[in-house]
Amino acid sequence: MGSEISHTCPFCGVANKYFRLAHLWRDENVSLELSEVSRKNLEVSLQIELSNMAFYQSAFKKLKDSNLEVALMFKGLFKVEREHASVFRKMLKLEATTEAQDEAYDDALQCVEESGRREKRAVELYEKFRDEATEQRVKDVFEAIAGAEKDHLELDGIMKDKLK
């Protein structure tokens, strides 16, 4: 542990500008009233994150014996997407959801390319959903998570270059 603040959250990957000191933090989801548009967009977002979680978990399992570096990237992405899904669940006031069943490829490069497509889609939708939201909390969450997904796209690009 150092004395410097991390640039991003180690759990969900959002930028540190969204960090709050523990004694100042309050759960903004408790009193959050969602518009119908925001509710629909959060439900779509939750499904995206659940699907990505399943894909990344499958990629980790399929690649861990043949390409540990890529497999570990997917293990990390799985954990981050799980945190994103948790945020969307809380905003929707859901206790649990059905998990998705998305299978990954046996080839590392195909998995990385598919990850890039998934992350690009998430960024585009989350930015659109941010713009459609009328609630500041929803706007902030979509902005923060879109930023984390952009980092995933960058990671996909680095890994893709290494695999070629």
What's the per-residue H, E or C state across the chain? CCCCCCCECCCCCCEHHHCCCCCCCCCCCCCCCCCHHHHHHHHHHHHHHHHHHHHHHHHHHHHCCCCHHHHHHHHHHHHHHHHHHHHHHHHHCCCCCCCCCCCCCCCHHHHHHHHHHHHHHHHHHHHHHHHHCCCHHHHHHHHHHHHHHHHHHHHHHHHHHHHC
* pTM of the predicted model as reported, rounded to 2 decimal places: 0.88
- How many Å from the N-terminal Cα to the C-terminal Cα in the chain? 36
Predicted local confidence at residue 1, as pLDDT: 47
- Which of the two residues, 78 and 13, has the higher pLDDT score? 78
Predicted local confidence at residue 99, as pLDDT: 80
Q: Reply yes or no on domain 34-163 having CATH 2.50.20.10.
A: no
Spatial separation of the C-alpha atoms in residues 69 and 114, rounded to whole Å: 17
If pLDDT is split at 50, 70 and 90, which confidence band does 98 have?
Answer: confident
% residues pLDDT > 90 (the chain): 74
Position of tokens 């969450």? 141
Spatial separation of the C-alpha atoms in residues 23 and 81, rounded to whole Å: 27
Spatial separation of the C-alpha atoms in residues 1 and 22, rounded to whole Å: 17
Closest CA to 160 of 112, 102, 100: 112
Spatial separation of the C-alpha atoms in residues 33 and 132, rounded to whole Å: 15
Spatial separation of the C-alpha atoms in residues 1 and 11, rounded to whole Å: 16
| Mean pLDDT of all residues belonging to the chain | 89
